[in-house]
Chains A and B, each alone.
Chain A
């Protein structure tokens, strides 16, 4: 079993829709939870991170972590065509490497 599970999609939504991306994880030692965005033929770039449980908001993006259910979510409001990318969730213990989900490919249709 992978440490982080993510539905690969693909997911297509119309411009302006609210997007919900989700992951589950199995490693109880995860302390940090991250969302990366990866455009085609590029490396991933950090979108948001949270420490432990709770919510974090940054503009149109909201990250949620529920450690009791081992569930990680990213919400995108008022989605734009420029949000079209692959979104990767990741967990990190106190050590150094990241454990990634497989990524969800999102397309926002104008």
Chain B
């Protein structure tokens, strides 16, 4: 079966523009996660969805970042008024369930460059 897919794979934008990043999780996976991977910082948790609700938004770095998930499937991460420090690889992961150990399967990421 298909894994987690993300689009676009690369995005170059100008400072101040808004961007939308898309994640298609593995079919049937109820949990969806967004992480950000920057040079020297490793992966940082941003937000997690259980179904369409987001019980944990604690990792979103500012109110310029938001995310939604519809139909318990596709999720969109939106960054408004992008800044150069937003440049990073944005990774999405999904898991069958939550709690305990549920393997998170990662997509290939979207590489965002803010000029």
Contact = CB atoms under 8 A, between A and B. Distances in A.
A69 interface: no
A99 B59 CA distance: 11
B66 interface: no
Interface in A6-60: 6, 8, 32, 36, 41-46, 49, 51
B43 A98 contact: yes
Nearest to B93: A43
Interface residues of A, number: 27
Contact of A96 (B41, B48, B103, B105): B48
28 contacts: A36-B106, A41-B108, A42-B108, A43-B91, A43-B106, A43-B107, A44-B43, A45-B106, A46-B105, A49-B103, A88-B42, A90-B43, A94-B99, A94-B100, A95-B56, A96-B31, A96-B50, A96-B56, A96-B98, A97-B45, A97-B48, A98-B35, A98-B104, A99-B45, A100-B43, A100-B44, A102-B40, A102-B42
Given A100-B42, A103-B42, 8 more contacts: A32-B101, A43-B4, A43-B108, A94-B99, A96-B33, A97-B33, A100-B43, A102-B42
Interface of B: 4, 31, 33, 35, 40-45, 48, 50, 56, 59, 91, 93, 98-101, 103-109
